[in-house]
Structure 1
Amino acid sequence: MKKRKIELAVISDVHLGTYGCHADELIAYLNSIQPKKLILNGDIIDIWQFSKRYFPASHLKVLKKIIGMASRGTEVHYITGNHDEMLRKFSDASMGNFKITNKLVLNLDGKKAWIFHGDVFDVSIQNAKWLAKLGSYGYDILILTNSFINWCLVKMGRERYSLSKRIKSSVKGAVKHVHDFEKTAGDLAIENNYDYVVCGHIHQPKKERYENKNGSCIYLNSGDWVENLTALEYSFKRWRIYHYNHDKLSPFFVDEDLKEMDMNELIASITDKDVAIEPITEEGLKEKNNDEKTLNKQGLS
C-alpha cells in the first residue's frame, strides 16, 4: 500500500498501557504515512498507570513501529509529558534518529514552530500531583465504562456516545480550563515571536489563529488516541488535523488539502514561485490539433 509522504506528523496522548488506548488504529495510521519527522508530543507511555498486568501486544507493536520508522530514516522526537515525566531525566539523550527532549523548536519554511506537551500550564499537576493522578485513574475508568456502553450501542445499531466529551462540554470549570490553556499558550508564543504553537495534554484537537494586542500565531493541538484519534500533519506549508474516524481511508489516496488547492497554489507552495497556468479549453485543444496536423504535413515531428 502506497504511503503518504509528509514533512511532519505530530501525535500525543496515546497512553500506552491503559484500557482506553486505541493502539490498533494508531498502527494503521502510522502504516499509512512516511513522514520526514515524527513528533511524539507527550503521554505516549502512561507511566502513571503502568501495570505489568495490562500491556497487550498491540501496545508493544506501536513501540516497535516507531522504532522501525526511526531505523528507516524518520527523525523521531519524543517530547516528554506529565504521564511519562520519568523520561525527563533522559532529556537531550539521542540514539540515532530517536531523540528525547522536553520541548522542540523547528523552522518550517521560514516560520518558527514551538512544540511542547503543555502540562506546565496545568496548576493541578504543579501543585497537587496526587490529585491529578487520582483524576487520571478516574478518567481511565470512565473511558473503560464508555467502551462497554458503546459496545452495547453498536450492537443495538445506534451511534457511539462519548461520556467524557459530554462532561467536558457541560462542566463550566472544564471549559474554562481548556480556554485558559489555549490563551496562555497563544500569549507566550506571540511574546516569544513564534508563528506556531503546538501542544497536546488537554485531549482537544484544534487548529485556529489566536490574536491579542501584540500580534497573532497559529494555535494547534494534536488531540489524543483515546477519544478523538487525531494527529497533526504539516506538508506543502500547511497544517491539517487528521481524524482517524473520518479520514482512515483517505491517507491511501490523496490529501484533502491538495483537493482544495488549485494548480497555481500547489506549484507555488513547492517552488515559492507563482506560476501562471492557462486554462485548457475545447477551442484551445482544436487549435493545438490543427497545428500538429500542419506540422505533420510539412514532415515535422
Structure 2
Amino acid sequence: MGERTVVVSDIHLGAVAAENERAFLTFLAEAHLRGDELLINGDLFDFWFEYGQVIPRGQFTALARLRALVDRGMAVRFIGGNHDAWGGSFLRDEVGIEILEGPARILVGGRPAYVAHGDGLGGGDWSYRALRWAARSRGGRALFRALHPDLGVPLARLASGTKKAQVHTDGRGSPRADRLAACARDILAANPDIDLVVFGHTHRPEVSEFGPGRFYLNAGDWLYHNSFAVVTPDEIRLESFGRSLGA
C-alpha cells in the first residue's frame, strides 16, 4: 500500500441529498490525485445487501467510479458499517474493492492503525449493538435473504432514519461521538504498537492527539460536512469538499 491514504465514511448513498451525492461522485473522480489508496470506513451506502444473483440498483455511477480508481492503480479498501455490512463477491470481484472485517489492524498512511466503523463500540448504543448482532449473524442474513428484494430493500430503507439525521444533526454535541473518542483513547493506551485509531459512525469530523504522535481520527460524513481525511506519515489532515468544516 502507498503512504497517502484518503479516508471517508458515512456517505449514505441512496439517502443523502442530491447535491451531496453529486459532490461525492466528483470527489471520487478526483480521489487518485489526493492519495495512493482510498479507505471507506463504513456506510458508503445507506443500504447494501448482495443476494445470490441480485445487487441493489441505484448506485451504478459510484460503483463505476470506484472501479475506475482501481483500474488507475489506486487501492480501495472497505469496512462495512451498520448500514452496509453485507458486501460480498460483487464488490470484491466486479468492482475490485478489498473488503476488510472490522475492527482491522492495518497501515493507514504508513501508520499502524486500528480501524472500525464504530457501531457497537464505546459503551451505550444498545440499539446498534442489538441490530449489529442480528444483522451480521448468519441467521439474520439468511432471514433477510429469504425476502424478495422488492420487499426487503424498501423495508431496509424505510427503517434507515438517515434522512431525518441529515436534517436534524451535524454530529456536534453528540454523546455517541464523545464515547467513541474516549474509546479511541483507551485503545491507544492499551496498545502501544498502535499509533492511530480510525472510526466513523458519529458523523463528526475529528482529529485528536492522545499522546505524542498518537491520534484518533474520524473522517466525518457526507450528509452535512462533505468531509474526508488525508493521512501520511507526516500529517493527518481533515478537509471538506467544497465547504468549510466550520460552517
- TM-score scaled to structure 1, two decimals? 0.59
Other-structure match for 1:140: 163
Task: State how 1:43-54 maps to structure 2 within 5 Å.
Answer: 43-47=43-47
Over 3 Å counting, the alpha-carbon distance change for 1:69 and 1:81 in structure 2 is same
Asked if 1 retains the 8 angstrom alpha-carbon contact of 2:49 and 2:84, the reply is no
Match for 1:126 among 129, 140, 148?
A: 129
Question: C-alpha root-mean-square deviation of aligned residues, in Å?
Answer: 3.6
Aligned to 1:86, the other structure's residue is in SS state coil
Please report how far the alpha carbon of residue 49 of structure 1 lies from its aligned counterpart in structure 2 after TM superposition: 10
Please report how far the alpha carbon of residue 65 of structure 1 lies from its aligned counterpart in structure 2 after TM superposition: 0.5
Please report how far the alpha carbon of residue 105 of structure 1 lies from its aligned counterpart in structure 2 after TM superposition: 2.7
Other-structure match for 1:83: 83
Aligned to 1:27, the other structure's residue is in SS state helix
Other-structure match for 2:117: 117
Unaligned runs of 5+ in 2: 51-55, 134-155
Higher relative contact order (CA 8 A, sep 6+): 2
1: CA distance, partners of 2:225 / 2:159: 17
Please report how far the alpha carbon of residue 123 of structure 1 lies from its aligned counterpart in structure 2 after TM superposition: 2.8
Larger proportion of helix: 1
Task: State how 1:6-155 maps to structure 2 within 5 Å.
Answer: 7-20=4-17, 22-34=20-32, 35-47=35-47, 56=58, 59-87=59-87, 98-103=97-102, 104-107=104-107, 111-121=111-121, 122-127=125-130, 137-141=160-164, 143=166, 146=167
Other-structure match for 2:140: none
Aligned to 1:119, the other structure's residue is in SS state coil
Unaligned runs of 5+ in 1: 147-162, 248-301
Letter in 2 for 1:23: E
Q: How many residues align?
A: 209
Other-structure match for 1:189: 188
2: CA distance, partners of 1:134 / 1:227: 19
Other-structure match for 1:239: 236
Letter in 2 for 1:30: L
1: CA distance, partners of 2:172 / 2:157: 21
1: CA distance, partners of 2:186 / 2:131: 25
2: CA distance, partners of 1:95 / 1:38: 17
Other-structure match for 2:214: 217
Asked if 1 retains the 8 angstrom alpha-carbon contact of 2:203 and 2:221, the reply is yes
Please report how far the alpha carbon of residue 18 of structure 1 lies from its aligned counterpart in structure 2 after TM superposition: 1.2
Please report how far the alpha carbon of residue 102 of structure 1 lies from its aligned counterpart in structure 2 after TM superposition: 1.6
Letter in 1 for 2:188: A
Asked if 2 retains the 8 angstrom alpha-carbon contact of 1:41 and 1:199, the reply is yes
Identity %: 24
1:229 and 2:226 equivalent?
yes
Over 3 Å counting, the alpha-carbon distance change for 1:14 and 1:216 in structure 2 is same
Other-structure match for 1:297: none
Q: Give a deviation string over 1:230-275, Cα, whole Å, max 9, x none.
A: 011123621101111337xxxxxxxxxxxxxxxxxxxxxxxxxxxx
Over 3 Å counting, the alpha-carbon distance change for 1:134 and 1:186 in structure 2 is farther
Asked if 2 retains the 8 angstrom alpha-carbon contact of 1:74 and 1:97, the reply is no
1: CA distance, partners of 2:84 / 2:109: 31
2: CA distance, partners of 1:242 / 1:197: 18
Aligned to 2:38, the other structure's residue is in SS state strand
Over 3 Å counting, the alpha-carbon distance change for 1:127 and 1:178 in structure 2 is same
1: CA distance, partners of 2:48 / 2:63: 18
Please report how far the alpha carbon of residue 72 of structure 1 lies from its aligned counterpart in structure 2 after TM superposition: 1.7
Other-structure match for 1:202: 202
2: CA distance, partners of 1:238 / 1:142: 31
2: CA distance, partners of 1:109 / 1:23: 26
Asked if 1 retains the 8 angstrom alpha-carbon contact of 2:3 and 2:108, the reply is no
Over 3 Å counting, the alpha-carbon distance change for 1:118 and 1:135 in structure 2 is farther
Other-structure match for 1:158: none
Aligned to 1:245, the other structure's residue is in SS state coil
Letter in 1 for 2:113: A
Asked if 2 retains the 8 angstrom alpha-carbon contact of 1:6 and 1:33, the reply is no
2: CA distance, partners of 1:209 / 1:55: 41
Over 3 Å counting, the alpha-carbon distance change for 1:23 and 1:55 in structure 2 is farther
2: CA distance, partners of 1:188 / 1:99: 25
Asked if 2 retains the 8 angstrom alpha-carbon contact of 1:116 and 1:199, the reply is yes
Q: Give a deviation string over 1:168-225, Cα, whole Å, max 9, x none.
A: 556xxxx3222112101221133122100111111011111125xxx88300001111
